Amino acid sequence: MTAARQTAMSPDEALQKLKDGNARFVRGEELNRDYSAQVEATAEGQYPFAMVLGCVDSRAPAELLFDVGFGDIFKARVAGNFVNDDVPGSIEFATRVAGAPLILVMGHTSCGAVKGACENVQLGHVSSLVNEIRPSVEAVTPEGETCSASNAELVDKVAAHNVDRTIAEIRNESAIIAELEAAGEVKIVGAMYDISTGVVQFYE
103-118 pLDDT, tens per residue?
Answer: 999 999 999 999 999 9
> Residue 135 to residues 87, 129, 168: CA-CA distances in angstroms?
19, 11, 13
Contact 161, 139 (CB under 8 A): yes
Task: Read off the pLDDT of residues 12-38 as tens digits, 9 standing for 90 and up.
Answer: 999 999 999 999 999 999 999 888 888
pLDDT > 80? residue 66:
yes
Determine the distance from the C-alpha atom of residue 42 to the mean position of all C-alpha atoms in its chain, rounded to a whole number.
23
Single pTM value for the model: 0.94
Side-chain-side CA neighbours of 107 within 13 Å: the count stands at 27
CATH numbers and ranges of domains, the chain: 3-203 (3.40.1050.10)
Average pLDDT, the chain: 94
Per the annotation, where are the binding residues?
A: 55, 57, 108, 111
Per the annotation, where are the binding residues for Zn(2+)?
A: 55, 57, 108, 111
Contact 102, 48 (CB under 8 A): no
Specify the pLDDT at position 196. 97
Indicate if the alpha-carbon torsion angle 64, 137, 51, 41 is positive or negative.
negative
Contact 101, 189 (CB under 8 A): no
